[in-house]
Amino acid sequence: MRIIRDYQYVEAADRGASVAIGNFDGVHLGHQSVIDLARAAAPDAPLGVLTFEPHPREFFAPDAPPFRLMGPEARASQLAKLGVERLYQLNFNAQLASLTPEAFARSVIAEGLGLQHVVVGADFCFGKGRAGTAQDMQAFGADMGFGVTVAPLLETSDATVSSTAIRTALSEARPRDAAAMLGHWHRIEGPVIGGEQRGRELGYPTANMSIDGLHPPAFGVYAVLVDVLEGPHKGRYQGAASLGVRPMFGENRANLETFIFDFSGDLYGTHVSVALVDHLRGEEKFDSLDALITQMDADCTRARSILAAL
Ligand SMILES: Cc1cc2nc3c(=O)[nH]c(=O)nc-3n(C[C@H](O)[C@H](O)[C@H](O)COP(=O)(O)O)c2cc1C
Ligand SMILES: Nc1ncnc2c1ncn2[C@@H]1O[C@H](COP(=O)(O)OP(=O)(O)O)[C@@H](O)[C@H]1O
């Protein structure tokens, strides 16, 4: 998959694609069906996704609480897994935000990227003031020479699949419900960072990861699947992770701390991906470190049996 960040000066090989447009936060089942429509609309064209970075909501409200399900790297790797060959990840800035719907269709889609076909969801809005609708896109396509498919909103048996519904499920400690809408586990990805070096003393060294900039799932202890994505320890593991502020040890910045079963080795700086499978309990402040360790032993036993049953 090639990532193209500018809609001007695009190479010939990166033009003529059939593209799904949107933010693709989470790359959930609805997003996957939109991508399938882009593939079906022009099977011989390069398959693409047109998205924005930062997320337009982050651009317009930079101080709002973090809401994203994934960062741009995790999104790109998830899209690549679906067979996307071109990721047009346009820099969302004041200039792009100021384009009218017609100027966006002409300058970005028709002329800049030379797209052959675009697929948008039925609720898609675009251009300055979000004034353009999916129907407007169809009219521009007819006029400017690109095909347009409007994808219906995907529903599961009980709800419309949406990034918002997935955020709610994660906030309410229902990671399996989130996974049912995502079509994959919700994952937190990034490099392992240093902590207080307390874990090894407790007998539970934990690979720590930042959750800055991400929608925080419910705090507490989770059964997790761990993919070490690179380096000598690359592979799939199981574990138990604590997500939150660690009330045993004062007020801390929320992060994710993962104890990996049957593992020893140095993971600092290594990119890992942690999938939240089940929420076991909330974070607690125990009377003693021994009480915490006893509870961690129980958490790990329970996580092992949950993960063995997957
Ligand atoms: C399975 C598990 C359960 C945990 N439960 C709690 C908890 O209930 N309360 C808490 O304050 N910290 C909890 N933690 C976080 C540990 O306190 C933290 O990982 C440990 O202090 C290591 O910190 P360090 O990585 O900065 O060295 C838990 C960690 C794991 C792996
Ligand atoms: N089973 C394991 N699970 C997680 N990390 C481990 C494990 N064994 C060794 N490590 C290494 O130990 C580090 C965590 O040790 P810890 O004492 O908790 O330090 P820190 O406070 O820096 O996270 C991890 O980042 C990783 O490099």
**Cα 189 to Cα 8: distance, rounded to the nearest angstrom:** 31
- Rounded distance from Cα 108 to ligand 2 centre (Å): 46
- Rounded distance from Cα 72 to ligand 1 centre (Å): 28
CB of 256 closer than 6 angstroms to any ligand 1 atom: no
Residue 220, both tokens: 């507490």
**Cα 292 to Cα 257: distance, rounded to the nearest angstrom:** 15
pLDDT for the residue 279: 98
Alpha helix stretches (DSSP H) within 152-209: 163-171, 175-182, 199-202
- Rounded distance from Cα 72 to ligand 2 centre (Å): 26
Closest CA to ligand 1's atom 18: 199
pLDDT for the residue 153: 79
How buried is residue 84: exposed, middle or buried, by Cβ count under 10 Å (0-12/13-18/19+)?
Answer: buried
Q: Which of 85, 172, 257, 284 is catalytic?
A: 257
**Run of H or E residues at 52:** strand 47-53
The closest alpha carbon to 243, from 183, 171, 297, 306, belongs to 171
284 is catalytic: no
**Most distant CA atoms of the chain, gap in Å:** 71
The predicted model scores a pTM of 0.94
Q: Which atom of ligand 2 is nearest to the CA of 239?
A: 3
E strands, 192-291, in order:
207-210, 220-228, 235-244, 255-260, 271-281
How buried is residue 130: exposed, middle or buried, by Cβ count under 10 Å (0-12/13-18/19+)?
Answer: exposed
Q: Interface pTM (ipTM) of the complex?
A: 0.96
Closest CA to ligand 1's atom 12: 246
User: How confident is the prediction along the chain (310 residues), in pLDDT tens digits per residue?
Assistant: 999 999 999 999 999 999 999 999 999 998 999 999 999 999 999 999 999 999 999 999 999 999 999 999 999 999 999 999 999 999 999 999 999 999 999 999 999 999 999 999 888 999 999 999 999 999 999 999 999 999 987 766 556 788 999 999 999 999 999 999 999 999 999 999 999 999 999 999 999 999 999 999 999 999 999 999 999 999 999 999 999 999 999 989 999 999 999 999 999 999 999 999 999 999 999 999 999 999 999 999 999 999 999 9
Ligand 2 shell residues, CB under 6 Å = 192, 194-200, 205-208, 259-260, 263-268
CB of 257 closer than 6 angstroms to any ligand 1 atom: yes
Residue 266, both tokens: 């140095």
Q: Which domains are seen in the chain, by residue range?
A: 2-151 (3.40.50.620), 185-308 (2.40.30.30)
Residue 302 neighbours by CB under 8 Å, 6+ apart: 223, 280
- Rounded distance from Cα 135 to ligand 2 centre (Å): 53
Q: Which atom of ligand 2 is nearest to the CA of 261?
A: 1
Ligand index nearest the alpha carbon of residue 205: 2
